[in-house]
Amino acid sequence: MDDKLIMSNILSSAKGACDLFMHGAIESATPAVHSAFAAVFNDTLCAQNDIYNKMSAKGWYPEAKAEQQKIDAAKQKFGSF
């Protein structure tokens, strides 16, 4: 297994953990539980961002430029919000 694949797997795991912690915060029944989930969600989100930045710096995360036509269409569709 190469470094790119390992980092990709770690990033996927971090994204999955963010999803679980976010839903834990949303569904929590008490302020203390909400606070605990929110804190770990924030920490995990920061870690996910660090992993993404490292992958991006190495060219391991594919980034596609958005077409200007699609950007303009989205602005027109959601611009009134």
- Give a three-class secondary structure readout of the chain: CCHHHHHHHHHHHHHHHHHHHHHHHHHCCCHHHHHHHHHHHHHHHHHHHHHHHHHHHCCCCCCCCCCHHHHHHHHHHHCCC
Read off the pTM.
0.76
Tally of domains within the chain: 1
Range of the domain at 71: 3-78
pLDDT digits (tens, 9 = 90+) for 14-73: 999 999 999 999 999 999 999 999 999 999 999 999 999 999 999 998 888 889 999 999
Task: Report residue 81's pLDDT band, with 50, 70 and 90 as the boundaries.
Answer: low
Tell me the C-alpha distance between 33 and 24, whole Å: 8
